[in-house]
Amino acid sequence: QATLWEASCRPAGTAGALLVTLLDATPLEQAVQMRRDFVANVSHELRTPLTALLGFIETLRGAASRDPAARERFLGIMGNEANRMNRLVGDLLSLSRVESQERIRPKDAVDLGALLTDVLKALRPLADDSKVAFDFTPPQVAVTVPGDADQLRQVFTNLIENAIKYGSSGGLVTVTLTGDSEARVSVSDKGPGIDPVHLPRLTERFYRADTHRSRMLGGTGLGLAIVKHIVNRHRGRLKVESEPGQGAVFTVALPFA
């Protein structure tokens, strides 16, 4: 079965409208295409910092070699570019690890209140840089789910890091944890939010709602793809809600058994 696009269109003003018939590509073709896109994306993402590094090496060999202030500045930029590549490779490894697992073995009983308290503590320096305050009160009764503690830590680290990065500077990041029929963690910020057109594709690898801001903030475009995979492996659900101008709310629901 091949991909087939068929379109017939009558000139404006005549009766009838646009007819489009689409037969889906086979799953194998889709997988091959996705793999091709992924390799192209990774190459592009790696090439950008690499090109910058090569350019600065040339500059350091040339005129800047006799100017200590310029040399320091260029070395600082080169460090940032190398860090960007490092983050990308780290996220690629995380993604490949979680993608290769069919289902998580619930090896730990994860106390989500304690985990979130830990994650918020680790992210305190990043929040301080943007003068962001946290609002989180662990529940009186522990909310514990079966899962992989390291992977769940990564889920909440990615979501809270995004809330700090994309929320408003000087703003508030609110984390709530409840446990009724399932455990629910939500992370909300009061930033510019996300245009609804982006919501369905937000967890695709390398998909960015605001490319400029993501790159400026050192984003890899893989954070939410990793979150989605880990949540799926835990048989959980991820929900994103946002009204532009009002911030964004990411909710993770995890089963107790």
Give contact residues for ligand ADP (rule: CB under 6 A). 158, 162-163, 166, 189, 191, 194, 202, 208-210, 214, 219-225, 248
For ligand ADP, the closer of residues 165 and 233 by Cβ is 165
Q: What angle do CA 6, 11, 12 make, to 5 degrees?
A: 120
Query: DSSP readout, 165-181?
Result: HHS-TT-EEEEEEEESS
**Strand 133-135 versus strand 144-147 pairing type:** unpaired
For ligand ADP, the closer of residues 154 and 184 by Cβ is 154
For ligand ADP, the closer of residues 154 and 179 by Cβ is 154
- State the chain's maximal CA–CA distance in angstroms: 74
For ligand ADP, the closer of residues 147 and 192 by Cβ is 192
8 A C-beta contact, residue 167 and residue 247: yes
For ligand ADP, the closer of residues 225 and 253 by Cβ is 225
Residue 250, number of CB atoms within 10 A of its CB: 24
Q: What angle do CA 226, 248, 203 make, to 5 degrees?
A: 25
Residue bearing tokens 């830990």: 118
